[in-house]
Amino acid sequence: MNKKLQGFLVPILAVFIALLLGAGIIAYLGENPLTAYYYLFTGAFDGRRAIARTLLEATPMIFTGLSVLVAFKTGLFNIGAQGQVIMGGLAAAAVGAFVHNIGINNVFVVLIIAAAAGFAWSGIAGWLKAKLGVHEVISTIMLNYVALNFEQYGLNYPLKAGGPMGPSPQTPPVFESSRLAMLMPDTKVALNVGFIVAVIAVILIWFMFEKTITGYEIKAVGLNPTASENAGINVKWRILFAMGIAGSLSGLAGAERILGGVGQYTYRQGIMGSYGFDGIAVALLGKNSPVGALFAAILFAALRTGGRSMQFNTSIPSQIIIIIQAIIILLIAAENMFHSILDKKKKVSN
Amino acid sequence: MSIFISLILATIRQAAPILITAIGGMFSELTGVVNIGLEGMMLMGAFSAAVVSYYTGNPYIGILGGMLAGGIMALLHAILSIKYKGNQVVSGVAINLFASGFTVFMLRVLFNQSGNTPTVPKTQTFLGISIIVFIIYIIAIASHWFIYKTVWGLRMRAVGEHPLAADTVGINVLKVRYFGVIMSGLLAGLGGAYLSIGALSQFTKEMSAGRGFIALAALVFGKWTPGGVLGASLLFGFADAGQTLIQQYVTGVPPQFIQMLPYILTLLALAGVVGKAVAPASSGKPYDKSDD
């Protein structure tokens, strides 16, 4: 079987095997896997509300998936998406809820500021890598924890609604002018224009890698930095640029959570979930293609929203979804296992 | 004076889980396998220690249960990254995710709880410090002897620095790597066991709370040596234990900034501001005889 077809098969097989293992666990717990998966599916896709919920959940994952993907293409592992999401979200909340200037708290400007905050945050890791050769995995993990503490600081002190003595650690809601418009207001689900922006980002990133010289050079750096250097590409500059773009995409993910009304337009504890880490799963399952990431994000989001309906209707805890997601990543990490099995089959059929 | 002593004791206690998990990480990384799944291995250790202690009524069997669970996670990481030459960072991410989902899932299945286990038997204490803490410091000190004074330690370092050369002189590279990675899981599991049945007497959801990543920071800040890791862990433990005290004396510093310190220090160490930290040469690369 040729490599390209195998590359396409691996993610599908991984999802299939993970769902099969999940079914095994469900059966072991004495429930009918078909019934459980029926609720999983209908919870995610049956009706306008369900679809709106799934796409709402998918939106930040599309951004972070692209973020991890852009870094991957450059040969970098962006584990720091979570921190970049937080910094983007904090920037959006700070400007959107505290700056009274109509020209600045305009939603477009706020999105750009959030993207810039993400750019600056990941730029630290990019700079450390390009300038000093510091491994980005370690630096971005450290930056994640700095960002997490910074988030707690922001929500408890300078950005807290009602000042430091306010009732709970969250920001006030952002001004009307900073909000992203709802897409399906009749469903009462906060699906917003952020989803459209995410889809546009998919197209732009695709365009960058397929049609522009910059994208081509970034890919070249990812494949072989030494050869790229020799060919006259400024490798350090490309690393810094790609890492920055990665951060700005994650920053947009954070901004969408705040400006899109997920938590009544406030930044509150836990609102950023684990979207940065989900981005890693999304980029891997999407086989590093922007369109693949779009579908992978929708799949993981569907598992999430469907998982809640499954927990509601059966005795299966929704955390099984996280287990299934982890198995999918493990299987993709062990990609060589599939290749050796698929190649063996080929030898037999010859 | 008593504040001073209690601060020292608190530092020793808070440093312990970070220390043992970082020593575990050292075993893995010295052989050339990156392990960012320490957090998940720790969490699984904490959970299993509590569960085993609950069902057997014996916290010491609980310790073994915690170590075993961490070890099993590590075995998975080893198979993926050594046998199938998978991406070690991806595998670590998946293990962290798995542990966070699995522990809460099992809380619901076993105890019908979403946040914590019932109270379980905990280990004995001495001077208010769990027995596990003493075990941890003994292992940490012994690891220095193991890595620098034994043949196995020498082999581990050789495999991490130059696997091909090690292979040429007859060292089984893959076997040494399996050993290093599994050790990391056993030790991270012990660190987790301390959290659930040493410091407390129950498991609570996500109780590792990023300590696996602080351990990773301690490993880097300690420059991959047992002595350095010990110093880094004590420093980070002090930052944790001394927080309330520091706030009493240094007013106006929010606690979050003190909590950021370990990570910022590690970033500075990586940047070479506080002595350059350099990882083992073959770190993160799968070994394949047919390469080169």
CB contact under 8 A, A322 and B272: no
pLDDT of residue B291: 57
Give me the mean pLDDT over the A60-68 stretch: 98
Instruction: Chain A: give the shortest CA distance to residue B125, in Å.
Output: 32
CB contact under 8 A, B97 and A337: no
Residue B289 has pLDDT above 80, yes or no: no
Instruction: Chain A: give the shortest CA distance to residue B287, in Å.
Output: 14
Which residue is associated with the tokens 């010859």?
A350
Chain B residues lying within 8 Å of A336, measured CB to CB = 84-86
pLDDT of residue A349: 47
Phi, psi of A189 (to 5 degrees): -100, 140
Give me the mean pLDDT over the A100-117 stretch: 93
Give yes or no for B105 touching A (CB within 8 A): yes
pTM of the model: 0.91
Chain A residues lying within 8 Å of B104, measured CB to CB = 317, 319, 322
Cβ-based neighbour number of residue B145 at 10 Å:
11
Mean pLDDT is lowest, of A281-290, A299-308, B229-238, B273-282, for B273-282
Give the residue from A121, A145, A151 with the most B CB atoms within 10 Å of its CB, the best one to mutate. A145
Give me the mean pLDDT over the B84-95 stretch: 91
Residue B12 belongs to some domain of the structure: yes
Residue B19 belongs to some domain of the structure: yes
Asked whether the beta carbons of B133 and B198 are under 8 A apart, the reply is yes
Chain B residues lying within 8 Å of A283, measured CB to CB = none
pLDDT tens-digit readout, A180-233: 999 999 999 999 999 999 999 999 999 999 999 999 999 999 999 899 999 989
Residue B218 belongs to some domain of the structure: no
Chain B residues lying within 8 Å of A320, measured CB to CB = 101, 105
For the purposes of burial, counting CB atoms within 10 Å of the CB of A211, is it exposed (0-12), middle (13-18) or buried (19 or more)? exposed
Find residues 226-255 of chain B whose CB sits inside 8 Å of chain A: 254
For the purposes of burial, counting CB atoms within 10 Å of the CB of A230, is it exposed (0-12), middle (13-18) or buried (19 or more)? exposed
Residue B214 belongs to some domain of the structure: no
Q: Which residue has the higher pLDDT, B6 or B54?
A: B54
Domains: count for chain B: 1
Angle between the A193-211 and A235-259 helix axes, to the nearest 10 degrees?
170
CB contact under 8 A, A79 and B213: no
Q: Spell out a b/e string for A80-102, using b for 16 or more CB atoms within 10 Å of the CB, else e.
A: bbbbbbbbbbbbbbbbbbebeee
Give yes or no for B217 touching A (CB within 8 A): yes
As a whole number of angstroms, the distance between CA A20 and CA A28 comes to 12
Q: Which of B205, B112, B94, B44 is nearest to A317 (CA)?
A: B112
Bridge partners for B130 per DSSP: B125
Residue B59 has pLDDT above 90, yes or no: yes
CATH class of the domain comprising A54-306: mainly alpha
pLDDT tens-digit readout, B105-128: 999 999 999 899 999 999 999 888
User: Sign of dihedral through CA atoms B225, B231, B234, B239?
Assistant: negative
Give me the mean pLDDT over the B215-221 stretch: 91
Q: Which of A243, A275, A223 is nearest to A134 (CA)?
A: A243
Confidence of residue A23 (pLDDT cuts 50, 70, 90): very high
CB contact under 8 A, B216 and A319: no
pLDDT tens-digit readout, B131-176: 999 999 999 999 999 999 999 999 999 999 999 999 999 999 999 9
A333 closest CB neighbour out of B91, B259, B270 = B91
Count residue pairs from A and B with Cβ separation < 8 A.
134
pLDDT tens-digit readout, A110-141: 999 999 999 999 999 999 999 888 888 889 99
pLDDT of residue B266: 86
pLDDT of residue A30: 92
Q: For chain A, what is the mean pLDDT?
A: 92
Give yes or no for B115 touching A (CB within 8 A): no
As a whole number of angstroms, the distance between CA A178 and CA A95 comes to 9
As a whole number of angstroms, the distance between CA A51 and CA A308 comes to 14
Residue B73 has pLDDT above 90, yes or no: yes
Residue B74 domain boundaries:
2-209
What is the longest distance spanned by two Cα atoms in chain A?
74
Residue B260 belongs to some domain of the structure: no
Domain positions in chain A are 54-306
Which residue blocks in chain A are alpha helix, DSSP H?
Answer: 3-28, 33-45, 48-73, 81-98, 107-132, 136-156, 193-211, 213-223, 225-230, 235-259, 275-285, 290-313, 320-333, 335-349
